[in-house]
């Protein structure tokens, strides 16, 4: 080693800094959070494609540090210790409160996602303005628009006179410093979290490390000061909230604002809620003056036809505690040539449709192999309830036989692979809502009968009896 040049010998001389290695790059999967030392197209843990993004290495802590001492001792409490109850605060928008489980919880962190232009900023601006008009404090921080642009939207919504605190900023340090100079607001809206930047770590806004760090600082402020925090999140082309999946674990509530921009109606869906039930929805209509609440969403998803049409069945869906009646439409087109038949589904699971077609062919002898099948849930509604199986099957059989179903009937029940109609939850709620909207008959599982005034219940034990009933034009 004595014969080596100085530039090589320095690598082995104690205390030398010439040969210090540069910090290694690391790549984090936005789906599962796994860390890799090099970029690759597919994550080795969750097998998702194009989810690895570069992240600045975190050098605050090292593996050699011992965290078992030197900290502050915690004081443990019992579950029955007296605490001040948290009182929910209304947003002034009933449908928004319903989706939240009753209103805003002090100190709660809420993440709201949705496609561009769906109305997230409009809804939050309306909620913040109503809170401010009620004499409470609300702050709206925009990282994507200038204050003049937000004022223009507020003028269109008729909210120019609301005493709302408005700012355009992207620095988390500036935001928290400003908020610390006054009493904490009841509501803090950050639009959006992908535009926020923390100077504590390196990286451009929107990167995994920046989104995580910025959200952590804002959530910590909300927890310490009792402020309800709403973070607006971008979504990917698949409809998932962009950024690290850990962001959804950090917040208390995850909400999704859904709907087609070409349609008038929007659905605010709660996907996660630590303070209430999930799967609650709020329904809104986009008007020229903003978003209006829809108190009776069933009227949106039912057609107003006067005569029954083949291939249409009404299903009493259940979203959290709210029953919603939707119309399921089916169309069967017979093919003359040997072309491969098409299966098109809008608003329902295509895999479940394939299973239902197999059951009808195997258990009832119906032939769909030479026909194209089109299935649609009216109004842009999306169904995930397995109780829709019976309504879908009835619509398919009605379209195949070209015989309309009873116009005043609803259908609900889960279809098993054996062809049996299985019971579903909350049958009484579904039937009460159907009777309230003027329906006279309900078709469902054998043990699903409930004593509901004005509604006659008929049990359907299997898909074979369903075929007989539809063919008889029941």
What's the pLDDT tens digit per position in 283-328? 898 888 889 998 777 777 776 666 778 999 999 998 777 788 999 9
Nearest to 376 by CA among 309, 320, 452, 449: 309
**Pair type for strands 165-168 and 253-258:** unpaired
Nearest to 467 by CA among 442, 443, 439, 440: 443
pLDDT of residue 339: 77
Distance CA 363, CA 317 (A): 26
Distance CA 86, CA 101 (A): 14
Stretches in the chain below the pLDDT threshold 50: 11, 13, 16-20, 61-63, 474
Whether the CB-CB separation of 138 and 126 falls below 8 Å is answered with no
CATH number of 94-295: 3.40.50.300
Residue 339: φ, ψ to 5°:
-70, 155
Distance CA 390, CA 101 (A): 30
Distance CA 347, CA 266 (A): 14
**Pair type for strands 343-346 and 312-319:** unpaired
pLDDT of residue 58: 53
Structural domain boundaries of the chain? Answer: 24-57, 94-295, 312-471
- Alpha-helix residue ranges (DSSP H) falling in 145-207: 147-156, 172-179
Count the neighbouring beta carbons within 10 Å of the beta carbon of residue 341. Answer: 14
For the record, the structure tokens of 143 come out as 């990282």
Sequence-separated (6 or more) residues with CB below 8 Å from residue 181: none
For the record, the structure tokens of 289 come out as 């003056």
Please, what is the angle between helix 463-471 and helix 350-364, to 10°?
A: 80
- Please indicate whether the domains covering 94-295 and 312-471 agree at the CATH topology level: no
Distance CA 149, CA 168 (A): 10
Strand residue runs (E) in 276-424: 281-287, 290-293, 312-319, 322-334, 343-346, 371-377, 409-411, 414-415, 421-422
pLDDT of residue 349: 93
Distance CA 171, CA 190 (A): 11
- Report the topology of domain 312-471: Ribosomal Protein S5; domain 2 (3.30.230)
Distance CA 468, CA 161 (A): 63
Report CA torsion sign: 464, 466, 471, 474: positive
Whether the CB-CB separation of 390 and 421 falls below 8 Å is answered with yes
Distance CA 67, CA 61 (A): 10
């Amino acid at each position: 080693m004595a014969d080596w040049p100085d530039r090589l010998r320095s690598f082995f001389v104690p205390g030398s800094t010439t040969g210090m290695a540069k910090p290694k790059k690391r790549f984090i999967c936005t789906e599962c959070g796994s860390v890799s030392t090099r970029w690759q197209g597919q994550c080795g843990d969750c097998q998702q494609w194009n989810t690895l993004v570069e992240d600045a290495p975190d050098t605050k802590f090292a593996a050699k540090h011992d965290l078992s001492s030197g900290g502050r001792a915690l004081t443990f409490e019992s579950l029955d210790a007296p605490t001040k109850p948290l009182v929910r605060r209304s947003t002034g928008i009933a449908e928004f409160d319903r989706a939240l489980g009753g209103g805003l919880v002090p100190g709660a962190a809420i993440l709201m996602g949705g496609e561009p232009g769906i109305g997230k900023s409009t809804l939050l601006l309306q909620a913040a303005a109503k809170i401010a008009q009620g004499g409470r404090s609300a702050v709206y921080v925009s990282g994507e628009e200038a204050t003049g642009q937000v004022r223009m939207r507020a003028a269109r919504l008729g909210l120019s006179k609301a005493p709302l605190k408005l700012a355009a900023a992207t620095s988390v340090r500036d935001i928290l410093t400003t908020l610390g100079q006054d009493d904490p607001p009841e509501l803090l809206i950050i639009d959006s979290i992908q535009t926020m930047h923390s100077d504590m770590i390196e990286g451009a806004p929107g990167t995994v490390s920046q989104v995580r760090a910025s959200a952590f600082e804002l959530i910590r402020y909300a927890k310490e000061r009792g402020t309800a925090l709403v973070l607006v999140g971008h979504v990917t082309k698949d409809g998932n909230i962009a950024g690290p999946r850990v962001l959804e674990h950090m917040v208390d509530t995850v909400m999704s604002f859904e709907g087609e921009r070409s349609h008038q109606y929007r659905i605010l869906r709660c996907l996660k809620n630590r303070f209430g039930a999930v799967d609650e929805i709020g329904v809104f209509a986009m008007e020229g003056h903003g978003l209006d609440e829809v108190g009776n969403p069933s009227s949106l998803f039912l057609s107003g036809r006067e005569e029954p049409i083949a291939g249409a069945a009404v299903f009493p869906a259940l979203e959290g505690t709210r029953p919603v009646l939707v119309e399921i439409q089916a169309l069967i087109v017979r093919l003359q040539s040997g072309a491969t038949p098409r299966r098109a589904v809008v608003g329902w699971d295509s895999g479940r449709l394939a299973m239902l077609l197999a059951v009808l062919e195997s258990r009832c002898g119906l032939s769909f192999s030479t026909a194209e099948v089109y299935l649609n849930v009216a109004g842009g509604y999306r169904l995930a309830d397995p109780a829709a199986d019976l309504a879908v099957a009835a619509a398919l059989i009605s379209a195949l036989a070209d015989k309309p179903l009873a116009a005043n009937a609803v259908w609900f029940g889960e279809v098993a692979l054996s062809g049996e109609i299985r019971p579903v939850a909350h049958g009484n709620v579904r039937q009460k809502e159907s009777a309230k909207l003027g329906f006279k008959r309900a078709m469902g599982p054998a043990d699903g009968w409930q004593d509901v005034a004005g509604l006659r219940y008929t049990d359907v034990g299997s898909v074979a009896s369903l075929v007989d009933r539809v063919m008889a034009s029941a």
